[in-house]
Amino acid sequence: MKIFDSIPENMPQTPFLDRVSDPNDLKKLSQNELIQLADELREFLLYSVSKSGGHLGAGLGVIELTIVLHYLFDSPNDNIVWDVGHQAYPHKILTNRKHLIETIRSKEGLSPFPKRKESKYDAFGVGHSSTSISAALGMSIGNKIKGLNDKTVAIIGDGAMTAGMSFEALSHAGAEKSNILVILNDNDMSISENVGGLNNYFSRIWASKLYTGIKKSGKKVLKNLPTAHHLARTVETSMKTMVAPGGIFEELGWNYIGPIDGHNIQQLIEVIDNLKNLEGPQFLHIITKKGAGFNLAEKNRIKYHAISKGQSSKSKKIKYQDIFGKWIVDMASINESLIGITPAMREGSGLVEFSQKFPERYFDVAIAEQHALTFAAGLACQNLKPVVAIYSTFLQRAYDQLIHDIAIQNLNVTFALDRSGLVGEDGPTHSGNYDIAYLRCIPNMIVTTPSNEVETRLLLTSAFNFDGPATVRYPRGSGPNKTFEESLNEIPIGKANLIRKGDKKSIMLNFGALLHEAEKVAENLNLTLIDMRFVKPLDEDILKNHLKQADLVVTLEDGCIAGGAGSAVQEFCSKQSFNPRFLILGIPDSFIEHASRDEMLEECGLTAPKIEDKVLKMME
């Protein structure tokens, strides 16, 4: 493997890569040429991602594996399913998208994740963790029902293996005896460092040179003495039980092979070529390095999980996740009952400082959102006060636990919902468009929508002090740069804020982070503007005072229109027999494709000029 110390400034020369327009071209290369191709692909990936921005470390780690899979399998007839998709850039480059790779994550450019509509080579659309084995199993059984002999492969990381859904699929596949190959890409990382018992199990296997030696010698014995297969298999199983305790995958019905070097092309070809034709579920454990071949990424795997476009310095404006990170440290300093929980998003959620200052009260539960919520419920039963820091789109994965384990029991759990609303370049799999709608319908739940940094800190305290489940939603990135005090003051539950008195007949109600857009429109059109702060409970007093005589009510939210905050206001007006005209502004009933957040807002008509135009038409 060629090692790079820096990102290429100019387009690299890639003679072998230039010969590959689809996977069939790989089959024309020798194994030595594939090794050269891997070096070229790695260098090209470094160059292209520096131009486009996006996920880097995971793709660097699977260069060799991606080449071998497309070399051995007949894609797209054979299904290659990538888990999460952070590692899929090399796959896209090798499947006739090299010329488009610099458009990745840009409006109307390539998706940042595998996407069925984008390419016939993207077998399954992904973006969330731990779905690959389930999807691949469905494809495998589907092929069997249809009488097809096409192969199915799922590639899943050790971080994604920490999710319960992966083990549900492993258990099912083992019982079905389906012809499926699962490749565990073990780089000891997800986005943050992996945690938990399963990670420790992998580490023990990885560290065991004796075990690796047994596997290599075992293959030689089986190759040279095929008649001794059953004896060799018995010896191997016994030794594996001693050296790698548990044998968890074989107990679930899988033929477990590994670990092997995931950067050794010859070894990958030899092993995978054998496994792909075996009957029943096959599990291959490979060891890779996240960021492999790029020194800086190997040394700092968290930093180089993704890089910014052009390696430009990121905005120095404080981010909402930093507001939360500062708040939770301050609150924990005065309240010993506070417990911080994250499902594998320490850095992204702003919990680094908290984890360092209060390690005994910090819990990273790995990629296990359902467990995170019920774990929080158990803590709340012991009169502790858990704060779950979670992305809005990932809370969707634990909706039953939210209702059944927390809300029904009215337990004291606070949710810091990061990445709410349109998130930008990561697209619809990561946009948190639905939390207002799916939260406000749950009894006992408080739903808050802060409009800026100051309000976020105040409402975090309000939610934390509330006796019951409460959520605070805030967007990705920075806000309008409001200066906030470091006090732990709060806003009374359900109390809105009258921002501007204007025309009494035309009222604008803002919910959340688009207040700065609403203020421009209200000023230009002389509207009365209220920052509602709470979707549930609504400030009924202020609404009765202003909506009773209103002719036009405009609601604005960075969330879906269907069932959202505007719907809540309409329900209130119906209950009060108020009958104003309504203009509900929010995210329409469609998935907004990846673009910058500003471009997404423009597309949804949520910028001040487009809002003003719509309001004017209603007023006229």
Is 314 a residue whose pLDDT tops 90?
Answer: no
Domain 320-473 bears CATH identifier 3.40.50.300:
no
Distance CA 152, CA 146 (A): 14
Active site residues per annotation: 290, 369, 397
Using 50, 70 and 90 to split pLDDT, how confident is the model at 203? low
Q: pLDDT at position 409, please?
A: 98
- pLDDT tens column, 587-602: 999 999 999 999 999 9
Average pLDDT, the chain: 90
Q: pLDDT at position 238, please?
A: 41
Q: Rounded mean pLDDT of 364-384?
A: 96
Is 197 a residue whose pLDDT tops 90?
Answer: no
Q: pLDDT at position 187, please?
A: 86
Q: pLDDT at position 304, please?
A: 81
pTM of the model: 0.85
| DSSP calls for 548-608 | TT-SEEEEEEEEESTTSHHHHHHHHHHHHT---EEEEEEE-SSPPPSS-HHHHHHHTT-SH
Using 50, 70 and 90 to split pLDDT, how confident is the model at 200? low
Q: Rounded mean pLDDT of 391-412?
A: 97
17-208+244-309 to CATH, choices 3.40.50.970, 2.60.120.10, 3.30.420.40, 2.60.40.10:
3.40.50.970
Contact residues for 372 (Cβ-Cβ < 8 A; gap 6+): 341, 342, 343, 365, 388, 390, 398
Q: pLDDT at position 297, please?
A: 86
Among the ranges given (255-259, 300-304, 540-544), the one the predictor scored with the smallest mean pLDDT: 300-304
Q: At what angle do helices 453-465 and 320-334 cross, to 10 degrees?
A: 40
Q: pLDDT at position 117, please?
A: 96
Q: Rounded mean pLDDT of 274-291?
A: 93
Q: pLDDT at position 346, please?
A: 95
DSSP code of 499? E
Ramachandran angles phi, psi of 191, nearest 5°: -100, -50
Using 50, 70 and 90 to split pLDDT, how confident is the model at 201? low
Distance CA 320, CA 459 (A): 13
Please indicate whether the domains covering 320-473 and 497-619 agree at the CATH topology level: yes
What is the percent of the chain with per-residue pLDDT over 90, rounded to a whole number?
80
Is 555 a residue whose pLDDT tops 90?
Answer: yes
Distance CA 553, CA 240 (A): 69
Q: Rounded mean pLDDT of 354-379?
A: 96
Distance CA 465, CA 446 (A): 12
Q: Rounded mean pLDDT of 362-391?
A: 97
Among the ranges given (475-484, 541-550, 609-618), the one the predictor scored with the smallest mean pLDDT: 475-484
497-619 to CATH, choices 3.40.50.280, 3.40.50.720, 3.40.50.12280, 3.40.50.920:
3.40.50.920
Is 94 a residue whose pLDDT tops 50?
Answer: yes
- pLDDT tens column, 230-252: 444 344 434 444 444 337 888 89
Is 189 a residue whose pLDDT tops 90?
Answer: no
Ramachandran angles phi, psi of 497, nearest 5°: -130, 115
Q: pLDDT at position 205, please?
A: 52
Is 302 a residue whose pLDDT tops 60?
Answer: yes
Q: Enumerate the domain spans of the chain.
A: 17-208+244-309, 320-473, 497-619
Q: pLDDT at position 231, please?
A: 43
